[in-house]
Amino acid sequence: MLSRSVNGDGNENGQAPDPQLHALAEYAATQPKGTSSSQQAYDTILGAILNRKVRSGQRLAEIPVAKAINLGRTPVREALMRLEADGFVTSEPRVGLVVASNTLETISEIYEVREVLESFAARLAARYARPSDIFAIEQIYNESVGRTEKHDTLQLRLLNTRFHQAINAAARNDHLSRTLRQLVNRLRLSPVSIFDAPGRAEEILKEHRALLDAIIARDEELAAKLAAEHQRRDKDTRLAQLAHDIVTIAS
Report whether CATH 1.10.10.10 matches the domain 5-99: yes
Return the pLDDT at 15. 56
Asked if residues 182 and 138 have their Cβ atoms less than 8 Å apart, the reply is no
Asked whether the predicted pLDDT for residue 4 surpasses 50, the reply is: no
Neighbours of 121 (CB within 10 A): 27
Q: What is the pLDDT of residues 95-148, one digit of tens each?
A: 999 999 888 998 999 999 999 999 999 999 999 999 999 999 999 999 999 999
Task: Provide the total of helices (H) and of strands (E) in the chain, helices listed first.
Answer: 10, 4
DSSP codes joined into one string, 106-122: HHHHHHHHHHHHHHHHH
SS (H, E, C) 195-248: HHCCCHHHHHHHHHHHHHHHHHCCCHHHHHHHHHHHHHHHHHHHHHHHHHHHHH
Contacts of 230 (CB under 8 A, 6+ apart): 118, 204, 207, 208, 211
Return the pLDDT at 220. 98
What is the homologous superfamily of the domain 104-250 according to CATH?
GntR ligand-binding domain-like (1.20.120.530)
Q: What is the pLDDT of residues 26-55, one digit of tens each?
A: 999 999 887 799 999 999 999 999 888 998
Q: What does the alpha-carbon distance between residue 17 and residue 31 come to, in Å, rounded to a whole number? A: 17
Q: Which residue has the higher pLDDT, 188 or 247?
A: 188
pTM comes to 0.79
For 98, the 3-state DSSP assignment is strand
Q: What is the pLDDT of residues 175-194, one digit of tens each?
A: 999 999 989 988 888 878 99
Q: What is the pLDDT of residues 213-242, one digit of tens each?
A: 999 999 999 999 999 999 999 999 999 999
Q: Considering the chain, tell me which residue range(s) the CATH 1.20.120.530 domain(s) occupy.
A: 104-250
Q: Considering the chain, tell me which residue range(s) the CATH 1.10.10.10 domain(s) occupy.
A: 5-99
Return the pLDDT at 87. 85
From the CA atom positions of the chain, what is the Rg in Å? Answer: 20
Asked whether the predicted pLDDT for residue 2 surpasses 60, the reply is: no
> What count of Cα atoms within 13 Å lies in the side-chain half-sphere of residue 237?
20
Give phi and psi for 183, each to the nearest 5.
-65, -45
